[in-house]
Each structure stands twice: as C-alpha cells, then as structure tokens.
C-alpha cells in the first residue's frame, strides 16, 4: 500500500549542518560548547565544534585575540567547501566575525551580536557577566559598536575561561555574586553570559537568580540554525 502525505503537510526539513569554532585550544571548552549546542538544536541539525591546533589556551586579553583571529579565519576558509549551512564563533569577543563573513555566503554568527539581539527582546537594561577583568575593554568596545552602551553594563567575575568551563563550586559562587551585583547595582533586568567558558551554564545559575539569564553561545547557535533553515527552505522552494 502506498501512503500519501496529507495536503498542506510539508516534508520534514533536511538537516542543517553547523560548524562552531572555539578560537582557543582548550579541548575542555570545546566540549563545553559542544554540549551546550546539543541542548538547543533540533534533532535534525548536526553540530560540529572545532578548535585550532595552535594558539592561545584562553582568549582573555587583546594579545590573545590578536593571535586567535587569523586561526579563526583559517578554519572558516578551510571549511568553505564542506557544505556547512552556517558558521558560529564560540568566543564572546566576536573575533574574526566580519573577516569570516567576507569569505562566505552562508551566515556567520557571533555570540556577542546574537546575545545582544536576544537581550533586546527581554529587557530595557541588561548586563553582561564575563570571566576576567582583562576582557572588559574589548566587550565595552563591542557595546559601542552594536549600539547598546547606554542600556548595558559589563561585569567580570574574576574567573578564568578554563575555570569557568568546569563545574567548580567557587567559580559558580563568584558568578552568582557578580550577577547579583549587576541586578542590584546596575538595574539589570536580564543577564547575558559572555564567555565560551560559560556555555551551558545558564540553567545551573538560573535557579538562584530572579531575572532571565541567556547563554550567548546558545543564542548564536539558535540564530544560525534558524537563519540556515529559512535559507534552505527558500532555496528548496
């Protein structure tokens, strides 16, 4: 017996393929990002997470960013013919974002830009909570670039990226304390977690926080997945 699909019911969407690039060389952060992405994508979306073979172990300073940028661009360039529907950068600094977009016609999404877009849907004022204080100047520059410097503050918990990716009690307490400071002192109505090392940590922090918490890496992955799906559907007619 031949089964016919009911009129008006579309065939299941073909799976999307996303390449997520962790710009540092820490495999633990790469695993953290991979697990966080797997929690939010559709079962038909395949997510590959990679990191460069050489470069900084953590992206925490301007010097680290300068070293990591060419490696990010190289990974995008090397994978242009691999058939990925979108690229996602796993560093909150959006390093190499605009250079990578110039190389490809598929979406390239950065966590800072995607996270800010998510924050705009939730709150009039919000705060970014990141890892180390050395990251603050670069993030503040991005706030100006993305036009939210007047509605967003940034606070650092004083926890390294590598330590943030682990589930240590002391690191968690520092992040919770920093989030409470952002709410009480900055008037934050929502919190954006601003580090690849914090990927997947929103749910564990949310239980102790009264305002919404958004994971910037997961926001970038979902944005990339959604745009890739829309483009695929349009091309398939």
84, 178: one domain: no
203, 228: one domain: no
Beta-bridged to residue 49, according to DSSP, are 20
Is residue 178, in this structure, part of any structural domain at all? Answer: yes
What share of the chain in percent tops pLDDT 70?
94
Is residue 195, in this structure, part of any structural domain at all? Answer: yes
106, 116: one domain: no
| Residues 22-38 pLDDT 10s | 999 999 999 999 999 99
**What confidence score (pLDDT) does residue 14 get?**
65
The mean-pLDDT minimum among 48-57, 62-71, 162-171, 190-199 falls in: 162-171
Q: What is the mean pLDDT of residues 15-23?
A: 94
28, 88: one domain: yes
Find tokens 């360039």 and name the residue: 77
DSSP 38: H
Domain total in the chain: 2
Q: Which range marks the domain in which residue 35 is found?
A: 17-110+218-236
Is residue 12, in this structure, part of any structural domain at all? Answer: no
81, 59: one domain: yes
> Any residues with CB less than 8 A from the CB of 148 and at least 6 apart, and which?
116, 119, 120
| Residues 79-90 pLDDT 10s | 999 999 999 999
Beta 46-50 vs 17-21: how paired, if at all? parallel
- Flag whether pLDDT at 58 surpasses 60: yes
The CATH code of the domain that includes 26 is 3.40.50.12500
Handedness of CA 150, 155, 161, 167 (dihedral sign): negative
Is residue 199, in this structure, part of any structural domain at all? Answer: yes
DSSP 166: S
Cα separation, 67 vs 132, in Å, equals 18
The better pLDDT of the pair 39, 165 is held by: 39
Find tokens 């993030």 and name the residue: 139
Is residue 8, in this structure, part of any structural domain at all? Answer: no
| Residues 68-108 pLDDT 10s | 999 999 999 999 999 999 999 999 999 999 999 999 999 99
**What confidence score (pLDDT) does residue 237 get?**
65
Q: Cα dist. 135→12, 71, 139, 149, 169 in Å? A: 43, 19, 6, 16, 22
Find tokens 């890739």 and name the residue: 228
């Amino acid at each position: 017996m031949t089964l016919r699909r009911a009129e008006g019911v579309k065939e299941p969407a073909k799976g999307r393929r996303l390449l997520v690039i962790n710009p540092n060389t820490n495999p633990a952060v790469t695993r953290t990002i991979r697990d966080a992405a797997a929690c939010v994508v559709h079962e038909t979306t395949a997510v590959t997470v990679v990191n460069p073979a050489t470069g900084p172990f953590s992206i925490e300073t301007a010097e680290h960013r300068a070293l990591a940028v060419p490696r990010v661009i190289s990974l995008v360039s090397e994978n242009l013919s691999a058939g990925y529907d979108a690229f996602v950068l796993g560093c909150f600094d959006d390093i190499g974002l605009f250079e990578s977009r110039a190389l490809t016609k598929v979406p390239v999404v950065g966590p800072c830009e995607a996270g800010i877009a998510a924050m705009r849907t939730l709150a009039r004022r919000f705060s970014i909570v990141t890892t180390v204080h050395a990251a603050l100047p670069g993030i503040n520059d991005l706030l100006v670039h993305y036009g939210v410097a007047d509605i967003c503050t940034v606070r650092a918990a004083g926890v390294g990226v590598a330590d943030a990716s682990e589930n240590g009690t002391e690191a968690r307490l520092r992040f919770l304390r920093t989030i409470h400071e952002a709410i009480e002192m900055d008037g934050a109505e929502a919190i954006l977690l601003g580090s690849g090392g914090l990927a997947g940590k929103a749910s564990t922090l949310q239980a102790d926080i009264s305002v919404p918490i958004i994971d910037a890496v997961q926001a970038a992955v979902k944005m990339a997945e959604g745009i890739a799906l829309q483009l695929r559907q349009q091309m398939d007619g």
